[in-house]
């Protein structure tokens, strides 16, 4: 994919703020701090378009990015940040679930998991939900640069088993590893 334009459109805190036209959307989801915003930036080849931080739970709203005036990337709030207040936790969940359940022109959900850790209960639940609701999805294991080849192979195998043999794609935002694979999946979803 050749990126000719990439722009931040808006942060949506509620459904009425979602963009209204029917451009196709690709959503990025996964636990807080897993690397959603970093993956978006590395895909686009820009720094700082999607805000990243060392403070988990930074992305609390749905953030929409318009690419090539054609489709949108959507950075969803992360789940599973243990130290968030209950009310905030509930709100994150509702905003993201509502979007996933309702958005008609959502063509692909990219589910990020940390390559270093075993998939959490919430990771498995989300995967089951996507499958059950027949949402086209892709599992991507982030931060692969933090592991040795051996550890990586072991952990990817473990994740694939946990996700019932679904393919888990290896990614690193810092090394741009996996970038072509993710773009290929996005392009395919835009064509179908």
Ligand X SMILES: Nc1nc2c(ncn2[C@@H]2O[C@H](COP(=O)(O)OP(=O)(O)OP(=O)(O)O)[C@@H](O)[C@H]2O)c(=O)[nH]1
Q: How many CA atoms lie within 13 A of 66 on its CB side?
A: 13
Closest to Mg ion by CB, 45 or 157? 45
Enter the tokens of residue 19.
């963009």
When binding is defined by CB under 6 A, the residue of 146, 161, 184, 188 that contacts ligand X is: 146
Query: How many of the chain's residues bind ligand X (CB under 6 A)?
Result: 22
User: Under the criterion CB under 6 A, does residue 173 sit at the interface with ligand X?
Assistant: yes
CB of 39 to ligand X, least distance (A): 7
Q: Are 169 and 178 in contact (CB under 8 A)?
A: yes
Strand ranges for 81-123 from DSSP E:
106-114
From 186, 189, 140, 175, select the one nearest 42 (Cα to Cα). 175
Using alpha carbons only, give the angle 90, 91, 95 rounded to the nearest 5 degrees: 120
Contact present, 138 and 185 (Cβ < 8 Å): yes
The DSSP symbol for 130 reads H
Give which of Mg ion, ligand X, none residue 137 binds (C-beta under 5 to 8 Å, depending on kind).
Answer: none
User: Least distance from C-beta 44 to ligand X, angstroms?
Assistant: 13
Give which of ligand X, Mg ion, none residue 145 binds (C-beta under 5 to 8 Å, depending on kind): ligand X
Given the rule CB under 6 A, which of 15-23, 35-43, 133-141, 149-157 is the region that contacts ligand X?
A: 35-43
Residues of span 82-141 touching ligand X by CB under 6 A: none
Which residue in 25, 27, 35, 159 binds ligand X (CB under 6 A)? 35
Shorter beta-carbon distance to Mg ion: residue 19 or 56 = 56
């Amino acid at each position: 994919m050749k990126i000719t334009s990439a722009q931040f459109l808006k942060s949506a805190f509620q459904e009425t703020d979602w963009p209204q036209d029917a451009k196709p959307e690709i959503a990025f989801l996964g636990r807080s701090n897993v690397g959603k915003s970093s993956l978006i930036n590395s895909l686009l080849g820009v720094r700082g378009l999607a805000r990243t931080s060392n403070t988990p739970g930074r992305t609390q709203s749905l953030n929409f990015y318009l690419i090539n005036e054609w489709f949108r990337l959507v950075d969803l709030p992360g789940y599973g940040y243990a130290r968030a207040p209950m009310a905030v936790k509930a709100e994150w969940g509702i905003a993201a679930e509502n979007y996933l359940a309702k958005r008609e022109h959502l063509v692909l959900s990219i589910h990020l998991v940390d390559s270093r850790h075993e998939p959490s209960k919430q990771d498995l639940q989300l995967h089951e939900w996507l499958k059950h609701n027949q949402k086209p999805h892709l599992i991507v294991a982030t931060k692969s640069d933090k592991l040795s080849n051996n550890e990586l192979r072991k952990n990817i195998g473990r994740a694939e088993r946990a996700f019932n043999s679904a393919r888990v794609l290896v990614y690193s935002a810092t090394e741009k590893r996996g970038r072509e694979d993710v773009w290929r999946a996005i392009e395919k979803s835009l064509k179908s």
